A = this chain, B = another copy of it.
Amino acid sequence: MLDELWQRRRGLVEETLRLELDRTPSLNQTLFDAMEYSLMSGGKRLRPILLMAAADAIDGSGEKFLTTAAAIEMIHTYSLIHDDLPAMDDDDYRRGKLTNHKVFGEATAILAGDALLTLAFEVMLRQEGVAASTMLRVVNEFARAAGSAGMVGGQAIDLQSEGKTITLEELRCMHMGKTGALFRASVRSGAILAGATEDQLAALTEYAEQFGLAFQITDDVLDFVGDEQMLGKPTGSDARNQKSTYVTLTSIDSARKLAEQTIDGAVESLSAFGTEAEFLRELVRYLISRNN
């Protein structure tokens, strides 16, 4: 089920991203090209997939919310462009392609990120079939998750932690912001759009937090053991950059075990749901088996 549904929906997300990008006027062609370059460069589209899977768990309505799902991918893409900048992680490659600033220059890359973040808010308002008050809740979820209490806040901690040894608790806090907040907003937004009860929302929030944690631990494991070609980016870069990870702060075996426990925890948080949440269960189990 996982592969088939994922591929089908990934195709729908690609189509929606294309559509929403093309209906967006740009005063400048180079800026548009830079936005398109990173937005349409593939990727698993994991956050849109999660948003739709959460809506499915409530009432099977996942594919109704493709527009909002595409918006969250724009936020994710903007964060990758800015993270790769010379002043930040200074990466030359992303998903096997040159990073945005290597192709378009640093200034245009900064602007392309800025424009994609802004566009995300414009695009989510194009979502049809949702009450205005519900849409405002979703805008708020995204804004909080992307900002200083979430993604950007986590990135700031990351910046200041380079070359330092931090505690496991600090590492967890950093990742809850840097990657966890957007996973959480994806799942919660899908649930809110589909009309989740407070109990359902709480259960899915717990799932999302465990998912985010499992994602990061397995990412650290992959970085440590991964094969460069398979990942499409240099591996072992965390160790080279002297970054603290779940592997460097514990051990590869401990990190693997923690990942398994966290995945079990995510599955348990879905105990009140039946088969309608099966895709969510498969998504978190996939994390341990992935090789990219």
Contact = CB atoms under 8 A, between A and B. Distances in A.
Interface of A: 24-28, 30-32, 35, 82, 85, 87-88, 105-108, 110-111, 113-115, 117-119, 121-122, 125, 131-133, 135-136, 139-140, 142-144, 146-150, 152-157, 159-160, 173-174, 177
A174 B28 CA distance: 9
11 contacts: A25-B149, A28-B148, A28-B157, A82-B114, A88-B107, A115-B147, A119-B147, A122-B143, A132-B133, A136-B136, A139-B139
Contacts of A85: 107, 110
Contacts of A148: 24-28, 31-32, 35, 115, 118-119
Contacts of A118: 117, 143, 146-148, 152
A65 B152 CA distance: 27
A154 B27 contact: yes
Given A136-B136, A143-B118, A148-B119, A156 B110 contact: no
A35 B149 CA distance: 13
Contacts of A142: 121
A26 B87 contact: no
Nearest to A120: B143
Q: Secondary structure of the A side of the interface?
A: helix
B140 A31 contact: no
Contacts of A117: 114, 117-118
A144 B156 contact: no
Given A125-B139, A125-B143, A28 B160 contact: yes
B143 A108 contact: no
Contacts of A121: 121, 139, 142-143
A156 B82 contact: no
A157 B88 contact: no
A91 B136 CA distance: 37
A183 B142 CA distance: 25
A139 to B, nearest CB: 6
Contact of A156 (B25, B27, B139, B150): B27
A-B residue pairs, 8 tightest by C-beta = A27-B153, A132-B132, A87-B106, A118-B147, A31-B156, A122-B143, A28-B156, A26-B148
Given A87-B107, A108-B159, A152 B82 contact: no
A9 B255 CA distance: 55
A112 to B, nearest CB: 8
A110 B82 contact: yes
Given A26-B148, A85-B110, 16 more contacts: A25-B149, A26-B153, A27-B149, A27-B157, A28-B156, A31-B156, A82-B110, A82-B114, A87-B107, A88-B110, A107-B159, A108-B159, A111-B155, A118-B146, A118-B152, A132-B136
